[in-house]
Amino acid sequence: MMKTRKVLSLLLVVAFLLPLLVGCPAPATPAPAPTEPPPAEPPPEPETDAISQLNPSGQEVLFWHVSTRKHLAILEEIVDGFNETNPYGIRVVPQYAGYYGDIYNKIIAAIAAGDTPDLAIAYANQVADYARAGVIVPLDPYMESEKYGFTPEERADFFEAFLESDRQAAYDNQLMSFAHSRSMEVMYYNQDWLEEMGYDGPPQTWAEFKEMCVAATDPDNDKWGYSHTGGASRFATTIFSFGGDIISEDGKTVKFHEEAGVKSLQLIKDLFDSGCAYESAERYGEQADFANQKALFAFGSTAGLPYYASAVEDAGEFEWSVSPAPHEAPEPAVDVYGPSACIFESKPERQLAAWLFFKYWAETENVTKWANVANYFPLRKSAIESAPMQEYMKGNPKYEKAFGFLQYGRVEPSVAGWQEIRGILGDAFKRAVEGGDPKTILDAAAAEANAVLAGQ
C-alpha cells in the first residue's frame, strides 16, 4: 500500500511538471556573427604600349643634318621651337654633317665605330644600308603609341604615299624613316620659244620631245633642244614614263634592263646622235643654260623652282613652266623623292625623345614653314589647305601646278645597295651618251646591280 502511494505521488509530480516542460521553449542556438564582405578586387590596370610607359625627360639628342643657308635658318627655328616648348626638357642639338653623299659616308664610318648620332637626315635607300647593321629603329610603334603617337585623325591628315615611301619590304614593310616633305622630277620648258616654233605647249610624247629638240637646235647660235644631266633619277623618270619598273616587287632583282629601260637609254643616245642634246658642263649648269635660253628643255627637281625663277629673272624674263616628262605609257609618271630622317638605336628614352622631335616637326605649322622655304611639298593635307600655304601657292603658281602632278607619283627603290646601284646607272647613262649600245650597256649594268643586291 505504501509502495502504491509512492508511485501515485511520483505520477502526480510528473503530471504537474510536464505542462511546464512542454511550454518552455528550448534555449536558442546563438546566430553566427556576421562576416565582413570580401574586399573588392582592384580594377585591372589599363593595358598600354611599351613606348607610352617611357619617360623621355631631360634627354639630349644629337641630330646630323644637311641644311645650309636659308634651309638652315628654318631648321634652327624648328629646333629652337621644340627645345623651348616640349614639356620634357628634351634638347635637340643640330650638327651639320655635309651634303647627302658626305653624311652617308660619315654615318657608315660612325656605324663601324659604334658612335652614331641619335637621328639623321637620309634618303630611304641610304637608311636601308644603315639598317643592315641593325642600328635603325622601326617607327611604327612610335606612330601607334597611345601617349606619344599620332591620333587616327592626325594619320588621316598625312599624304600616305609620302609615308609609304619610307617602308621597306626587307624589314616586314616597317616604317624605317620619316618624311616631312617630298619633291619630284619635272621637265622645265621655255613656253615662248615653243610658241615661236609653232607649238602650243610642251611635248606629251617622247617623239614630240625629240621633234621639238631638233627644231630648236641651232649650233651656230648656241641653241639646243636639251641640256642633259645624267643620274639615276633622270633614268628612273624615263623608265617610268615608258611604263617600266626599276626593280622587282621583292627588291631582289633589277628590271631596268628590260624593254622600258632599253627604250629610255636609246632615247638619250638618239638625242645626242641627232646633235640636239648636250651634257651640262658643271653642276646645276642646266639652270643657267635654260635661263639664258641656250636650252629649250631641262629636267630637275621641283625644289629647284626658286633657283630657276631667280636665274630667269637675272638673265631676262620669258614665259616658262614645268610639266611631267613626256610619256609613252597611258598616263604621265613623275619620280617622287626627297630626304627623310631616321632614328639610331640608343637607349629607349633617347629614342623616344628623337621621335618627339619628329612629331613636332610634323605639326602643320612646321611642315608649312619648311615647305615654303625648301619648296618641297608638305606631309600634311592641312598644310596645303592652310592660309600661309595658299598664299605661297598664289605667289608661286608653278609650285601649285606641280603639286597637281603628285597623282602620277612613282618612287625609286628603298633597298640596301641602291646607293651603289645609282652609281652603276649613272655610268650606264654616260656610256650611252658616248655611243655605246643601250641593250649591251644595260645588260652589263643589270648583272653588276644584281650582284650588289645578292650581297646584301
Residues 78 and 153 in one domain: yes
Last residue of a domain, one of 375, 393, 422: 375
Q: What is the DSSP letter of 158?
A: B
Helix (H, G, I), strand (E, B) or coil at 246: coil
Q: What is the pLDDT, as a whole number, of residue 216?
A: 98
Domain that holds residue 361: 54-177+339-375
CA angle 294, 300, 302 (to 5 degrees): 120
CB 104 within 8 A of CB 419: yes
Residues 316 and 328 in one domain: yes
Residues 221 and 295 in one domain: yes
CB 226 within 8 A of CB 295: yes
Q: Please state the φ and ψ torsions of residue 249, each to the nearest 5 degrees.
A: -60, -35
Q: Please state the φ and ψ torsions of residue 174, each to the nearest 5 degrees.
A: -75, 155
Residues 157 and 196 in one domain: no
Helix (H, G, I), strand (E, B) or coil at 247: strand
Helix (H, G, I), strand (E, B) or coil at 428: helix
Q: Is residue 111 part of a domain?
A: yes
Q: What is the pLDDT, as a whole number, of residue 34?
A: 52
How many helices (H) and strands (E) in the chain? 20, 14
Comparing C-alpha atoms, which of 180, 140, 169 is closest to residue 338?
A: 180
Q: Is residue 268 part of a domain?
A: yes
Residues 189 and 166 in one domain: no
Q: Residue 114 is placed in which grid cell?
A: 659604334
Residues 76 and 170 in one domain: yes
* Interaxial angle between packed helices 232-241 and 259-273, expressed in degrees from 0 to 180 and rounded to the nearest 10: 110
Q: What is the pLDDT, as a whole number, of residue 47?
A: 66
CATH code, domain carrying 359: 3.40.190.10
Q: Please state the φ and ψ torsions of residue 37, each to the nearest 5 degrees.
A: -65, 145
Q: What is the DSSP letter of 40?
A: P
Q: Go through the chain and tell me how many residues it has.
A: 456
Residues 347 and 330 in one domain: no
Residues 435 and 304 in one domain: yes
Q: What is the pLDDT, as a whole number, of residue 433?
A: 87
CB 296 within 8 A of CB 286: no
- Measured distance CA(201)–CA(88) in Å, rounded: 55
Q: What is the pLDDT, as a whole number, of residue 231?
A: 85
Q: Is residue 2 part of a domain?
A: no
pTM above 0.85, yes or no: yes
Last residue of a domain, one of 350, 375, 400: 375
Instruction: Provide the residue type at 167 as one letter.
Output: R
Q: Which residues contact 272 (CB under 8 A, 6 or more apart)?
A: 228, 278, 433
| Domains contained in the chain, number | 2
Residues 221 and 157 in one domain: no
Comparing C-alpha atoms, which of 178, 49, 194, 46 is closest to residue 122?
A: 178
Q: Residue 4 is placed in which grid cell?
A: 502504491
Handedness of CA 148, 152, 156, 162 (dihedral sign): positive
Q: Please state the φ and ψ torsions of residue 352, each to the nearest 5 degrees.
A: -65, -40
- Measured distance CA(378)–CA(383) in Å, rounded: 7
- Measured distance CA(344)–CA(323) in Å, rounded: 38
Q: In the chain, what is the straight-line distance between the N-terminal and C-terminal CA atoms, in Å?
A: 130
Residues 77 and 169 in one domain: yes
Comparing C-alpha atoms, which of 61, 67, 77 is closest to residue 365?
A: 77
pLDDT in single tens digits along all 456 residues of the chain: 444 344 334 333 334 333 433 444 444 444 455 555 555 555 555 568 999 999 999 999 999 999 999 999 999 999 999 999 999 999 999 999 999 999 999 999 999 999 999 999 999 999 999 999 999 999 999 999 999 999 999 999 999 989 989 999 889 999 999 999 999 999 999 999 999 999 999 999 999 999 999 999 999 999 999 999 888 899 999 999 999 999 998 899 999 999 999 999 999 999 999 999 999 878 889 999 999 999 999 999 999 999 999 999 999 999 999 999 999 999 999 999 999 999 999 999 999 999 999 999 999 999 999 999 999 999 999 999 999 999 999 999 999 999 999 999 999 998 999 989 999 998 998 898 888 999 999 999 999 999 999 988
Bridge partners for 228 per DSSP = 279
Residues 173 and 192 in one domain: no
Q: Is residue 43 part of a domain?
A: no
- Measured distance CA(227)–CA(220) in Å, rounded: 16
CB 308 within 8 A of CB 172: no
Q: Is residue 15 part of a domain?
A: no
Q: Is residue 106 part of a domain?
A: yes
Q: Which residue has the cell 619590304?
A: 169
Q: What is the pLDDT, as a whole number, of residue 24?
A: 42
CB 308 within 8 A of CB 288: no
Q: Which residues contact 401 (CB under 8 A, 6 or more apart)?
A: 321, 322
Residues 219 and 107 in one domain: no
Q: Residue 385 is placed in which grid cell?
A: 589647305
Q: What is the pLDDT, as a whole number, of residue 23?
A: 44
Q: What is the DSSP letter of 254?
A: B
